[in-house]
């Protein structure tokens, strides 16, 4: 007995309702089930042809980028969409000829097939840099300029930012900035987690109503959830408007880990003027030059939460900023919301 692929009923091989597809015979209990199957397969053929006309993507690409790296979720999207793929030893595997139609790659939830999947929704994108002569911000210094402008023009009551601790070099210290000079103190990136939610709530309780909040995606997500969750704390302060400035982020490290690494390399945190991650390299800027190390050397000091982060571009912010996608000395700026 055979199984009808549509209704799962048992069917005799003598059934008059038969279809050949992919070199295999399928048997049906009725004309209705056969027609449903034929219509479905015609749609699949059109889909494969449409994808194939745009880009030839083989199963090999899926295997290299997702399966071999251990990113596969075993959801079965690729197996269910192609008769040439099956689960073998709990992994998707090619069991027949691949036509490079791209269907398996485009169904996979872990592949990036649209720009939106990579950077989130946005309204406008810019390459920008600061016009302030005294700005020492990261990349193009755009965040520093916008915050300083907002405070000077009275558009913002304050900004929640992070600066380096005076007593403990390069330890992040979140604070409430109310002047342009205080914003300038916070210029530049610190690659350690900053507990920015406490100063945000403090600013709200002080009666500040127009607040800029600066942080990577994890901090931005905290504010976003407090705004949108039915039990979000910010529902208690509806008069407070928080403008979320999200920073591109790929890695964060324990402060003591950075200190240990720097000392192991014969450097002193007090002598380091800037830190930057660019193209897989961690750069330490000092008065007498630049020291660069492969990012993998700091793996043991990486924050555990970063291993599970899927949001490099702070997708829940009003405006996102980062150095990826623009020349050195410029910032990529993604305006995501109407207020942004």
45 vs 31, 50, 97, CA distance in Å? 21, 9, 16
For the chain, 340 residues long, give each residue's pLDDT as a single digit of tens: 788 877 888 888 888 888 877 667 888 889 898 888 777 666 665 666 555 555 678 899 999 999 998 889 888 888 877 888 999 998 999 998 888 888 888 888 888 767 777 788 899 999 999 888 766 667 778 999 999 999 999 999 999 999 988 888 899 999 999 999 999 888 888 889 999 999 999 999 899 999 999 999 999 999 999 888 877 778 777 778 999 999 999 889 999 999 999 999 999 998 998 898 888 889 999 988 889 999 999 999 998 888 778 888 999 999 999 988 888 889 999 999 999 9
Query: CB atoms < 10 A from the CB of 269, how many?
Result: 17
Structure tokens at 157: 């009551």
Whether the CB-CB separation of 134 and 184 falls below 8 Å is answered with yes
Report which secondary-structure segment, H or E, holds 243.
strand 241-247
Q: Give which of 254, 269, 248, 274 is closest to 188, Cα–Cα.
A: 274
Whether the CB-CB separation of 145 and 131 falls below 8 Å is answered with yes
């Amino acid at each position: 007995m055979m199984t009808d692929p549509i209704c799962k009923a048992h069917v005799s091989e003598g059934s008059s309702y038969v279809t050949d597809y992919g070199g295999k015979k399928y048997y049906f209990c009725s004309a209705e089930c056969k027609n449903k199957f034929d219509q479905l397969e015609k749609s699949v053929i059109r889909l494969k042809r449409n994808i194939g006309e745009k880009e030839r993507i083989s199963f090999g690409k899926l295997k290299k980028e997702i399966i071999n790296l251990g990113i596969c979720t075993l959801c079965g999207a690729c197996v269910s969409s192609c008769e040439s793929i099956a689960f073998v030893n709990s992994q998707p595997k090619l069991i027949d000829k691949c036509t490079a139609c791209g269907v398996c790659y485009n169904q996979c939830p872990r592949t990036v097939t649209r720009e939106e999947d990579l950077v989130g929704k946005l309204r406008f994108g810019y390459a920008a840099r600061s016009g302030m002569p005294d700005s020492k911000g990261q990349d193009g210094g755009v965040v520093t300029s916008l915050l300083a402008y907002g405070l000077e023009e009275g558009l913002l009551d304050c900004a929640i930012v992070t600066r380096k601790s005076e007593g403990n070099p390069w330890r992040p210290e979140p604070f409430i900035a109310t002047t342009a000079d205080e914003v300038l103190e916070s210029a530049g990136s610190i690659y350690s987690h900053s507990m920015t939610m406490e100063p945000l709530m403090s600013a709200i309780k002080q009666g500040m109503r127009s607040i800029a909040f600066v942080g990577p995606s994890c901090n931005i997500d905290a504010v976003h959830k407090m705004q949108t969750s039915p039990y979000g704390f910010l529902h208690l302060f509806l008069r407070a408007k928080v403008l979320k400035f999200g920073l591109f982020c790929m890695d964060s490290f324990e402060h003591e880990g950075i200190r240990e690494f720097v000392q192991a390399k014969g450097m002193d945190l007090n002598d380091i003027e800037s830190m930057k991650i660019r193209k897989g390299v961690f750069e330490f800027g000092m008065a007498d030059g630049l020291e660069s190390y492969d990012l993998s050397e700091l793996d043991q000091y990486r924050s555990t939460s970063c291993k599970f982060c899927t949001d490099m571009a702070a997708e829940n912010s009003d405006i996102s900023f980062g150095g990826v996608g623009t020349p050195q000395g410029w910032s990529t700026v993604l305006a995501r919301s109407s207020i942004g």
